[in-house]
Structures are given as C-alpha cells and as structure tokens.
Amino acid sequence: MADKHEIAVFAGGCFWCTEAVFSQLKGVLMVVPGYAGGHTENPTYREVCTDSTGHSEAVRIQFNPDKVTYQRLLDVFFETHDPTTLNRQGADRGTHYRSMVLYANDEQKDQAEAYIKELDSSGSLRDPVVTEVVPLETFYEAEDDHKQFYLNNPDQMYCQIVIQPKVDKVRGVFAEHLR
C-alpha cells in the first residue's frame, strides 16, 4: 500500500540548506530543490541568481500527513531560517533568497498566516516576519547537480559552515521527529 502524501513548498534561503533540513524528518517522502514564485518559465540556476526571473530557491516536500503534519513542517521551516530578513539569509543576498510559503490549498494558507501572526505577536523575534504567503502556481525542479547537494558534498566548505549548523539545530530541537 502506497503512503498517503501531500505537497508543501517553502523558500527559506539557499535550497541546499532547506533540502538538507527537511530530508531528515520522519514522514517526509521526498524533498526536491527548485524554483518557484516567479514569472520565467523553466528557469535555470544561473538565471534565478540574476534576480530577474522573480523566482526563489525553494523546495517541494512530499510528505505523509499521518506521520508529519503541515504544522510541524512550518515549525521546522521557521526554526531553521530567519523569516525577518528581506531577500537575504546570512551572507546569501538577493530576491531569490527571500522567505516564502507557497501554499497548495486554503488550509495551508490559513495555517501559514496564523503561524506568522502568532510568531509576530509572541515577541520572540526582534523584527516582524517578512515571509511571503503566496499560492503555489508552478514549481520548476532544479538541475541535477543541486539535488541532494549536502548529502553528496558533505566536505564542501558551504556545507560545513552554513548547512551543518541548520542540520544540527533540527537534530537538537526536533529529535523525536527524525528518521
């Protein structure tokens, strides 16, 4: 019997980081890096990096809602990037690094908007959340060399300095939800 599945799409900076973080979770069946939220059809990584396509680096997560909820995915998403910085995550700058929840249905939209409202009112962040909540129109898969980048390049400096701390954070905060 095949697993039940739903789709979630998030953009939270570099898709190598986001893919590595979500790939660890129980109930996540597949994570694919790509591009979403823009106007250019079939964009390439090089084009997206020019900030002329309107796309963000994003991940499409196929998940089993009986094993991991959309709410838990939101928890991980907001815990592992800075949703208060506009068009930037750390040293990565540009509109293609903006924070976005690309919702697949009204339920996801409502949950994301409620999450952001709660996060803003909690006082836990110094600045307001700038994460966009927009409908998922089209998701374009990234080129093969961007898929499973962290897994395939663990010794690469970016993986060690930027991705590893995010992976470690998920292992600490969400240990009971890991594979």
Q: Percent of the chain scored above 90 by pLDDT?
A: 94
SS3 assignment for the chain: CCCCCEEEEEEECCHHHHHHHHCCECCEEEEEEEEECCCCCCCCHHHHCCCCCCCEEEEEEEECCCCCCHHHHHHHHHHCCCCCCCCEECCEECHHHCEEEEECCHHHHHHHHHHHHHHHHHCCCCCCCCCEEEECCCEEECCHHHCCHHHHCCCCHHHHHHHHHHHHHHHHHCHHHEC
Superfamily, domain 6-177: Peptide methionine sulphoxide reductase MsrA (3.30.1060.10)
77 confidence band (pLDDT: 50, 70, 90): very high
pLDDT in tens, 94-113: 999 999 999 999 999 999 99
Q: Are 122 and 156 in contact (CB under 8 A)?
A: no
| Rounded Cα gap, residues 83 and 87, in angstroms | 10
CB 61 within 8 A of CB 8: yes
Share of the chain above pLDDT 70, in %: 98
Catalytic residue of the set 14, 17, 49, 159: 14
Residue with token string 């060399």: 145
Q: Is the pLDDT of residue 3 over 90?
A: no
Q: Residue 1: is its pLDDT beyond 60?
A: no
The first and second tokens of residue 40, run together, are 């250019």
Is 17 labeled as catalytic in the residue annotation?
no
Per-residue confidence at 139, pLDDT binned at 50, 70, 90? very high
Is pLDDT of 85 > 70?
yes
Cα separation of 11 and 99, whole Å? 5
Burial of 99 (0-12, 13-18, 19+ CB in 10 A): buried
Residue with tokens 């129109």: 137
Residue 65 has pLDDT above 80, yes or no: yes
Nearest to 56, CA basis, from 24, 9, 22: 9
For the chain, give every domain's residue range.
Answer: 6-177
Whose CA is closest to 35, among 47, 21, 22? 47
Length of the chain, in residues = 179
